Structure 1
Amino acid sequence: MGEKLTVPGYDKIPTYLNPEQRHALTQIPSDLSDRDIARHYTFTEKERELINRRRRASHRIGFAVQLALLKFPGRTLMEVKEVPRAVLTAIAEQVDVPASAFTSYGERENTLYEHLDELRRECGFRSCGWKEYLLVAKSLLPEVGLGS
């Protein structure tokens, strides 16, 4: 298993899951191959342009990590406890920022939320509330033999 870096603010998010359940639903697999990393975490030209609007290196890599995690595993940065070193390195190389700059991302907590809001606006991501949870649950019930 590769080295992982803990994400700032992870422990501030309330949850109804026990630690094992939360980890299973939000972790980035530590055994991703180079091919998997490239498939899940390669940015488009448009995404790189959006990332490069940030002036500070820590903001560029933090914004890029937020975008990457929204794409896979489909979670916000605050929901993912650790980012495998190989994933962070691949992201850092694409945005031409040292991976070490990530450690100072989010020193101002509002930055995390402002960047997430911008990603929602620019990339079409949206929050998943009760309405969305119910729609997903309803669509999955037939798959497990509990609905029509």
Structure 2
Amino acid sequence: MKRLPCSGDEACLTRLYSLSDADRDFLSSKRGARNQLGVAVQISLLRYPGVERRLESEPPAALIQFVAHQIGAP
């Protein structure tokens, strides 16, 4: 199983997982911070389709925090 390209390095997270203005516009159409964050994390993970994800596994906390900060979610 391939791991995510970066799991905690701030420069790497910024380079690979920064959301575009179009991404943020799309996310603003979703109800509630929880749903917005969930969709934002899915968008980020879909950028690397060769990375295997299992239903019972969670994305790295650093990725969730990075995405949450971008959209202003708690």
TM-score category by the smaller chain? 0.7 to 0.9
Partner of 2:53: 79
1:39 counterpart = 2:41:
no
Structure 2 runs not aligned, ≥5 long? none
1:94 counterpart = 2:70:
yes
* Percent of residue pairs bearing the same amino acid type: 25
Q: Which has the larger radius of gyration?
A: 1
Q: Which is bigger in relative contact order (C-alpha 8 A, separation at least 6)?
A: 2
Q: Which runs of 4+ in 1 moved over 3 A?
A: 29-32
- Aligned-pair RMSD on alpha carbons? 2.3
TM-score, structure 1 normalization? 0.43
How many residues are treated as equivalent by the alignment?
A: 72
Greater strand content: 1
Greater helix content: 1
1:55 counterpart = 2:31:
yes
TM-score, structure 2 normalization? 0.80
